[in-house]
Amino acid sequence: MLYTAEQLHVSADRALFVDMNSFFASVEQQVAPELRGRPVAVVPFLHDSTSVLAASVEAKQLGISTGTNVAEARRMAPSIKLLRVNAPLYRDYHRRVMGMLDQTRCKVTVKSIDEALLTVPKDLRGNSLELASQIRNNIYEVGDWLGCSIGLGPNMFIAKMATNAMKPNGLVQVLPEELQGFYSTLSLMNLYGVSYRSTKRFKALGIETPLDLYNAPLKYLQNHLGENTGLSWHLRMRGVEVDQKLTHRTSVGHQMTLTPNPATSLEELWPTISQLVAKVSHRLRKSGFSSHRLVCFVRYQDRTHWGKMMNQTQYINDLPTMLRSVKQGFTHLPFTSPVRLVGVSAINLRPTADTSYSLFPEERRAEQITSAIDLITEKFGVGSITTARNLTIAPVADHIGFGNAPDVAQMGY
């Protein structure tokens, strides 16, 4: 069976999508208040021949957007402030925002450097508008200039498109019974994940608009797009969550008791830790999962605990990246008492093959590079923004403290 009953169930506000507004430029304005209220553009190099990577809300109002040539942008807004891209700064704010989202009771799936999907737990549904405005306020606490658009819908696809319906600072909910009306305001290019090439493919089938796609008979879609892709489109358009693979696996972890002697320094502890990481990494790869968050923890001889979560900018399962991240986590370990037990867990798992979002499986790389993270990687081959390599040298470490035993026990290691 392709989908479980739980997946097929449409719940009006299951998906809450957070899309940061003009993220790179807003972060620049956050750290330099004199830039607020002014058109700002983030550029790869300070030269007229390049193009804008990210425009501030004020610059967008003047018609400047991602891809606008810099000389052209200067003509459109002579007072525009051009800033060279500062990836470590954006990553830092990315981690702060995601860390804040993690404190809600929603399951958080990071979609890009400035976007996240929150799956609202059943008991919070029905109050999700309230939850959304709370999230917006909490993001203002991360940075009072950091706006976001929030979309609520039955699945990620619709919630994401709801964020586009009002920018900046929108909060839009699309209910299942409003879907046809919502689609009638959109073109095929507005559909999340649909590239220009995909629109041509739909048009060849006589599907000119999202409403046509909604109304197309299931059999017709399956005959022309393939059985699974056709079914997915049929369900996705109706609010079924088909883009978030549900997994029962939530963590992979190992721990070791230090016998006969507890450890009193990181040097003593490290050989054990690196063995644990190797095991976790191996098990992740063998089971086909990647992790978004690593947990380092110890139990001291005096029975107290210490733990640290290391958020990743991407789903990972390779040993070098995991080792670097875990090593950084353990550098914060205080030896208040000898360490009796040490452990490493990988949590927030998802199937490795599912780590890049695609609606047509054969079009893994969308033609249109939409996410800023891809934009930077494409333009500069920075790589670091997606490999988490720079996490080890980031000036501000992720720190979501948790110190009691029940929390650690719930990780299910």
Distance from C-alpha of 29 to C-alpha of 146, rounded to nearest angstrom: 9
Closer by beta carbon to Mg ion, 92 or else 407? 92
Give me the residues paired with residue 54 across strands.
42
CA 375, CA 112: separation in Å to the nearest integer? 11
Q: Nearest 10 degrees: CA dihedral of 133, 134, 138, 141?
A: 70
Q: Which is nearer to Mg ion, 21 or 195 (CB)?
A: 21
The yes-or-no answer on residue 115 being catalytic is yes
Minimal distance, residue 19 CB to Mg ion, in Å:
4
Of the candidates 397, 385, 406, 393, the residue with the CA atom closest to the CA atom of residue 294: 397
Spatial CA neighbour of 278 closest among 332, 331, 320: 320
d(CA 157, CA 230): 16
Say if CB 97 and CB 139 are below 8 A apart.
yes
CA distance 188 to 81: 35
List of residues 6+ apart from 239 with CB closer than 8 A: 10, 153, 154, 155, 158, 176, 179
CB closer to Mg ion out of 169 and 247? 169
Nearer to Mg ion, 20 or 42 (CB): 20
Nearer to Mg ion, 19 or 374 (CB): 19
Q: How far is the CB of 193 from Mg ion (least distance, A)?
A: 15
Amino acid identity of residue 164, one-letter, is: N
Residues at the site binding Mg ion, with contacts judged by CB under 5 A: 19-20, 114
d(CA 313, CA 330): 19
Tokens of 213: 């796609």
62 and 41 Cβ atoms separated by less than 8 Å: no
Nearest distance, CB of residue 23 and Mg ion, angstroms:
5
- State the catalytic residue, choosing from 28, 58, 115, 241: 115
User: With respect to Mg ion, which residue has the nearer C-beta, 146 or 269?
Assistant: 146
Q: Which is closer to Mg ion, CB of 13 or CB of 114?
A: 114
What secondary structure does DSSP assign to 324-386, as a single string? Answer: HHHHHHHTT---SS-EEEEEEEEEEEEEGGGSS--SSTT--S-SS--SHHHHHHHHH---HHH
Q: How far is the CB of 46 from Mg ion (least distance, A)?
A: 24
- How many C-beta atoms lie closer than 10 Å to residue 244's C-beta? 19
Number of other CB atoms surrounding residue 176 within 10 Å: 16
What are the C-alpha distances in Å from 81 to residues 146, 166, 190? 18, 25, 30
Residue 114 beta carbon to Mg ion: minimum distance, rounded to whole angstroms: 4
Residue 19 vs 58, nearer CB to Mg ion: 19
- The catalytic site residues sit at 115
